[in-house]
Amino acid sequence: MADKKDPLIKKLQKRIPLTIKMMVIVITMGIFLMTITDYFQNKYHKEIHIAATTDIISQKAVEQRMRFDYYVKKYFQSVKLFTSQKRFHNYIENLENNKWSEDSNVQVKYYSQPPSWFPDRSIIRTFIPATYVILLDGKKRVREVFSKEKHKLPAFLLKPESVLYQLSQNQSFLTMYDGTPYIIASKNFIGPGGRLRGILTLACPIDNKFLVHSQGVTTSRTLVALTTGVEPYILVSNHDDMLPAGARIKDLRSSFLIEEEGFFDYGNSDLLVNLVTFSPKKEIESQTSVILNKERTQNIITSLVFILAFAMITYWITRHIQQITKKITVFSQKTLGMQPRALPRGDQLLILEERFHSLTEEVLTSREIIKKQAEEKTRLIVDNAFDAIITTNADGAITTWNPQAEVIFGLTREQAVGQKVVDKIIPVKYHDVYEKAIKHLLASDETPAMNKQLQTTAVHSNGHEFPVEFTVSPAQSEGSYLFIVIMRDITQRIKAEEALKNAKEEIEVWNRELEKRVKEKTEELKKSQAQLIHSEKLSAMGHMAGGLAHELNSPLAGLLPMIEKYRNEAEKGSQAYNELTLMLKACEYMAKIVKDFGSFSREATGEFSELNINEVIEDTLSFSGSSFKQKRIKLIKEYEDNLPDFLGEKTELQQVILNMITNAYDASTIEGEIRIRTKTLDNRTKLTIEFSDNGTGIDKESLGKIFDPFFTTKKPGQGTGLGLSLSYGIIEKHGGRISVTSEPEKGTVFTIILPAAT
């Protein structure tokens, strides 16, 4: 009976669509979870709301207490401000002059409108409203009373005790009279000689109106009351209908949330009172219900949205399941050649499961067919391969031997299959290596020779050895190892490589010989070129020196003897003798200048080329550095490596460098120090050359004229004053600039900045 029911149940489950099943489950679970969640959420939210409301009421109680305390303190501030008014002073002085009645039976004067001694209305607005404003004379007798509401002055204020005014003097004072709390503040008016001339008192019962004024604008939810007593009861509240006077606090706790606050110390008091804040529990419960209803509505909407979203997802899933089922059916028909079948209706997942089982059986059947076809294709590929393809089992026995292997090794398939590969194709000297490699692979699943292209020596059936290139790839089939060896005879390739190697060696020998000969010829050419340049330079310098000697020395040769003749004829010590001596020295100095021009002169080409500043400096030092030895001067060179080139005329720049070195040499003392430094600036866009010495230096006055033509700091006859002026012009011509810094007896630094070539 059970066996009959099971197919019936399965058949019924299969006919019901998956979407309907999922929707029933989701709706049932949703209702269950929403009911449980609503219960615990309501309980939790009620507790949270009551706790939050309690915190708010507690904070509000502190604020209301502070407002009440501040309001009470302002009574004394109002009294103090009142008595400081000039109108009040004048009124008291006038009464003193007219003498208040000395009669003990004093008639009290009442005002319902502000009396003349009140301040202006604009000032009154700043005062705290008081029920009674009382003016007493120097003997503390009540003389005048102002009450806007025409209240009769209570007896304890009409004939007050002295202690009352002592306690309320200069502060606000709380007291109780006839069951009603009062606030009283007083201020004495002291005349000349320290005599008490009057007392001003503000008094007000602490009633409903007082509480309303102390708290400012309030809402119906703000309930405040003053309480007192060992078992606290209400003295007065701002809502008599809800909080009547005399009601005990313990009787109100069932209907209100209650927070009590004491007062700050605002003055003396003979009352022990608290300011209590009440919040009706019905209002709190009503607010909680509103919040919970909103949250419950949101939960219902969320649940409906969730159910709708899940329904859409379920529909989307079932649609995809149907599509997968159709694809499986089409795949079975087109790929596996199965008969077409219509898709039944019902549970899409169960239908997919059936289709999947059918597909599995169909695939297994097709795999056997494909396996046979693949084996046939593999056999064709192996038999027609250009390389020898050999397979062996884990014992080294040959299982596959293709036709190319027959050609390479001279063994037929029948002769090779079943034989040990080590005995047929591997030379005897490699047998141990092969056996060790196979054992290592079987023990660790890896060996360095596997899956790599290697070269070795194989043996032919006739016994001769030949080079081969091979790869060995291990594979596992049915739990045992299978080795696939692909091998190629490379005898002809080795011969070609050897021939190529020999030819390459011969070419390298010829290349080395050719390089040697080219190098020798290049050295000879460089030497010849250097000799030619040196000869041309010497020739040009000699030609220029000869020209200068011809143009200048000829007139000087005639002048010098003539001047010396006339000087000898003149009387020694006379004015003529002295003047001729000066002329003779001037001509000799001119001859020296001519000689200096001939020492280093070469005509500049005027053409700029790319130069390396370090090389230009070294070339200049090569014919001027020997002079440093005379003074034992130390030359320090600090060159920055890999400097960029710059555009310039080498001869002109050598003239500038020579002038800088000569000036540094002349300024240096014996065993002095000259430093030449090169470096780059501004991201290698500029070059800097510094010439520094530790010699005599230049004074500030001369420093400003250093580049003027014919200005020199050297002794007469030692300099023309043109070197720095010419150097300045040459550097400007090259787009650079030259500057100098110096301190007397410490040294001088010349700095040249040139633009780098772009």
Mean pLDDT in residue range 618-628: 69
Q: List the alpha helices (DSSP H) in 16-118.
A: 18-83, 86-98
What's 624's domain CATH number? 3.30.565.10
Residue 236 has pLDDT above 60, yes or no: yes
Structure tokens at 670: 């014996």
Contact 726, 655 (CB under 8 A): yes
Mean pLDDT in residue range 24-48: 78
Mean pLDDT in residue range 119-126: 73
pLDDT at 1: 43
CA–CA dist 731, 616 (Å, integer): 14
Does one domain contain both 662 and 592?
no
Q: Which of 192, 201, 165 is nearest to 97 (CA)?
A: 192
pLDDT at 4: 46
Residue 105 has pLDDT above 50, yes or no: yes
Contact 296, 31 (CB under 8 A): no
Helices and strands: H and E segment counts in the chain: 21, 22
Does one domain contain both 93 and 203?
yes
Contact 266, 172 (CB under 8 A): yes
Work out whether the CA dihedral 591, 593, 594, 596 comes out positive or negative: positive
Terminal C-alpha separation, the chain? 103
What's 441's domain CATH number? 3.30.450.20
Instruction: For residue 248, give the DSSP letter.
Output: B
**Residue 542, φ and ψ in degrees, nearest 5:** -65, -40
pLDDT > 90: percent of the chain: 7
Does one domain contain both 571 and 650?
no
Mean pLDDT in residue range 106-134: 81
Q: CB under 8 Å, gap of 24 or more: what pairs does 435-440 form?
A: 438/394, 438/396
Does one domain contain both 498 and 582?
yes
56 in any annotated domain: yes
CA–CA dist 666, 674 (Å, integer): 11
Going by pLDDT thresholds of 50, 70 and 90, the confidence category of residue 550 is low
Does one domain contain both 202 and 60?
yes
- Helix, strand and coil in the chain, % to nearest 5: 50, 20, 25
The total number of residues written for the chain in this structure:
758
When mean pLDDT is compared over 145-154, 232-241, 649-658, 740-749, the highest value belongs to 740-749
Does one domain contain both 619 and 747?
yes
394 in any annotated domain: yes
pLDDT at 9: 62
146 in any annotated domain: yes
Q: Which of 436, 433, 446 is nearest to 474 (CA)?
A: 446
Q: Which of 215-229, 466-480, 518-532 has the lowest mean pLDDT?
A: 518-532
Does one domain contain both 505 and 411?
no
The tens digit of pLDDT for each residue in 575-594 reads 888 888 888 877 776 765 56
Going by pLDDT thresholds of 50, 70 and 90, the confidence category of residue 690 is very high
CA–CA dist 514, 40 (Å, integer): 101
pLDDT at 692: 94
pLDDT at 101: 56
Q: Estimate to the nearest angstrom the gap between the alpha carbon of 47 and the chain centroid.
A: 45
274 in any annotated domain: no
463 in any annotated domain: yes
Does one domain contain both 564 and 645?
no
CA–CA dist 89, 106 (Å, integer): 22
Residue-range definition of the domain harbouring residue 413: 385-488
- pTM for the full predicted model: 0.39
Longest dimension (CA), the chain: 169
Mean pLDDT of the chain, nearest integer: 78
The tens digit of pLDDT for each residue in 390-445 reads 888 878 888 888 888 888 888 888 888 888 888 888 888 888 877 777 777 666 65
The tens digit of pLDDT for each residue in 694-705 reads 988 988 888 888
Out of 163, 185, 210, pick the residue that ends a domain: 210
Out of 184, 210, 236, pick the residue that ends a domain: 210
Structure tokens at 206: 């602490």
Q: How many domains does the chain have?
A: 5
Contact 622, 732 (CB under 8 A): no
pLDDT at 691: 95
pLDDT at 605: 58
Distance set, CA 511 to CA 293, 501, 502, 520, 524 (Å):
101, 15, 14, 14, 20
The tens digit of pLDDT for each residue in 323-336 reads 777 777 777 666 66
Q: Which of 122, 111, 128, 110 is nearest to 85 (CA)?
A: 122
Structure tokens at 440: 């290592």
pLDDT at 591: 65
Does one domain contain both 494 and 461?
no
pLDDT at 534: 41
pLDDT > 70: percent of the chain: 79
Q: Which of 199, 71, 219 is nearest to 145 (CA)?
A: 199
pLDDT at 751: 95
Q: List the alpha helices (DSSP H) in 267-347.
A: 281-334
Mean pLDDT in residue range 37-59: 79
Does one domain contain both 642 and 755?
yes
pLDDT at 600: 41
Structure tokens at 312: 């859409």
Out of 603, 619, 635, pick the residue that ends a domain: 603
Does one domain contain both 370 and 483?
no
pLDDT at 553: 67
Q: Which of 325, 321, 330 is nearest to 357 (CA)?
A: 325
697 in any annotated domain: yes
> Who wins on pLDDT, 244 or 303?
244
The tens digit of pLDDT for each residue in 63-90 reads 888 888 888 888 888 888 888 888 888 8
Distance set, CA 454 to CA 233, 389, 605 (Å):
109, 15, 68
pLDDT at 566: 81
317 in any annotated domain: no
Structure tokens at 518: 């080219």
pLDDT at 757: 86
Going by pLDDT thresholds of 50, 70 and 90, the confidence category of residue 36 is confident
Burial of 644 (0-12, 13-18, 19+ CB in 10 A): middle
334 in any annotated domain: no
- Name the β-bridge partners of 134: 145, 201
Going by pLDDT thresholds of 50, 70 and 90, the confidence category of residue 638 is very high
The tens digit of pLDDT for each residue in 716-758 reads 656 666 788 888 989 999 999 999 999 988 899 999 999 998 7
Cα Rg, the chain, nearest whole Å: 62
Does one domain contain both 643 and 676?
yes
Structure tokens at 125: 């607005």
Tokens 């399941």 sit on residue? 321
CA–CA dist 513, 748 (Å, integer): 56
| Helix, coil or strand: residue 732 | helix
Q: Find the helix or strand (DSSP H, E) in which 679 lies.
A: strand 673-681
Strand 196-205 and strand 132-137: pairing? antiparallel
CA–CA dist 687, 678 (Å, integer): 7
pLDDT at 412: 87
Residue 272 has pLDDT above 80, yes or no: no
Going by pLDDT thresholds of 50, 70 and 90, the confidence category of residue 611 is very high
pLDDT at 426: 85
Residue 350 has pLDDT above 90, yes or no: no
pLDDT at 535: 41
E-strand ranges in 515-655 read 609-611, 634-638, 646-648
